[in-house]
Amino acid sequence: MGSQSLLMQLVRMALVLVLVLIVVNRCDPLLEAFASQAMGSGCHSTGGSGHHANHHHNH
């Protein structure tokens, strides 16, 4: 019985994840907001110098 409730929780979480991904994919302003946030963090925030900045251009 406990495993069935755990399975249902996983199914609900998966459905919510799929719904959120669909909404974000279809809503252009929200997608652009996430994209601009991603560009401001991670290896894109190094300022254009070093190994990571040139990594994407060497392919």
Phi then psi for residue 41, to 5 deg, are -135, 170
Q: Mutual orientation of helices 2-26 and 28-39 as an angle, nearest 10°?
A: 90
Residue 24 has a pLDDT of 86
Helix (H) or strand (E) holding 31: helix 28-39
The sign of the torsion formed by the CA atoms of 43, 39, 13, 21 equals: negative
- The per-residue pLDDT for range 9-42, each reduced to its tens digit, is 999 999 999 999 999 888 888 888 888 888 888 6
Rounded distance between C-alpha atoms, residue 35 and residue 50, angstroms: 23
- Check residue 58 and report its DSSP letter: -
